[in-house]
Structure 1
Amino acid sequence: MEEPQQGPSDGLVELPLFPLNLVLFPGMDLPLHIFEERYKDMIGECLNNHTPFGVVLIKEGMEVGAPADPERIGTSTRILRSELLDQGRMNIMTKGERRFEIVEIIQRVPHVIGRVRFLVEIEGEGCSDLVREIADEYVALVRNMTALTGGYASRVSVPEDPVELSYAIAANLDLATHLRQSLLVTETAATRLADLIPLVRQGNEDLRQRIANSNPFQGPRLN
């Protein structure tokens, strides 16, 4: 499996970029429908060369039309499977892999290409205590999300790695886009987990309320 083209000694790589109105975290699945010619060509090259592309939140501009200006930090993503449709359109399933920082935009047309630096993941101080504090909330989050769709999660696997756990929680929370980008930019897993603790608690409270409101058997008893 090939990696993006790397410079001779500066540690930078050239990566095709897909600016979107969303934030992708490492480990997060992302389905995409590809219909614009520029992205059909870009994704076709990634499929042919078995290389990733980068997903970045749009800072200014729109997904369709003229090239948008991306945020500085994004996530590389790998295509897991693809489905070719009529007129060259595609459905693809991708998974986020590694965070990167855009150092320079070297092409804007037909699609954006950047020179990027992949970021080193740092656990930070106090991770063990933070993991213990947030693990039960993560289990509750997964169970509440499953219950909201009428299911039940009897066993929930909690990632042991603090970095992986922080991204798993962030990916599953229903957060405003600017908050998701802020969590992606955060340098250490410890800081990210600390920021997530009040957010996941509030998320669980909101989910429990939605579950209660959707219960057809709630209300005044008749007997």
Structure 2
Amino acid sequence: MRDKKKAGNANLPALILLAALIMFWQMAAMGINAAYILPSPTQILVRLWELRGPLFTAHLPATMSVVAIGLLISVVLGLGLAILMDVSEVAEKALYPLIIASQTIPTTALAPLFVLWFGYSIWSKVLVTVLITFFPITITVFDGFKSVKTEMEELLFTFGADRRQIFFKLKIPAVLPCFFSAIKMAVPLSIIGAAIGEWLGAQSGLGYFSRRMMTQLDGAGVFAPILLLSVVAMAFVGVVSALEKRMIRWRND
């Protein structure tokens, strides 16, 4: 009961700030009085309700499919690269600059190429998602491995532990907080990546739907799928945070 009360008090400032921002947005939209430029929050909610049929039955599942596949590939790729760079100094020197360089290329420049190569299939959007998402997982987990103190490894070596035992008994538990932090960063980025891919070339999905509403000068229709994406991202991050608290109990003590 005390923990729930403490969590509620911790969320109170965020809720107050959110309410203040929504009120300011509502007043600014009423002052402009041009829904195609700046729709009000109430107009967006009304439009979201009006469009609930196509949004929830067709476009949301399409976007979530891209997010799920892209995030799964990013987790496997990111963890694989982090582990490889941790166990091999040669691999670290070869891969680390390339991983950094991969983030210097504008995604909006590559997305049309992916569409050209793969058409409007799901894989063009998945590649955009992976390109954006694998980076924080790789770097954060790799930094977590590097943060494990050498003295602890040497101590386990003196006790007769081999590299496999050190990896699973020392490094994996030590890197778990970094892994969950990386996933909490990657989830919103995966949704952004899916939306960007759909915006630039798709036949379904929330990003595609938002772009279609823009061509019709429907400001509230543009924001409705964006609001839905934001809610989904926050829900996913909440699920990851709950899993983190269950798996890393010592961090909450």
Fold agreement, TM-score > 0.5:
no
TM value normalised by structure 2: 0.22
Bigger Cα Rg: 2
Q: Which has the higher helix share?
A: 2
Q: Which has the higher contact order (CA 8 A, sep 6+)?
A: 2
Q: Which has the higher strand share?
A: 1
TM value normalised by structure 1: 0.24
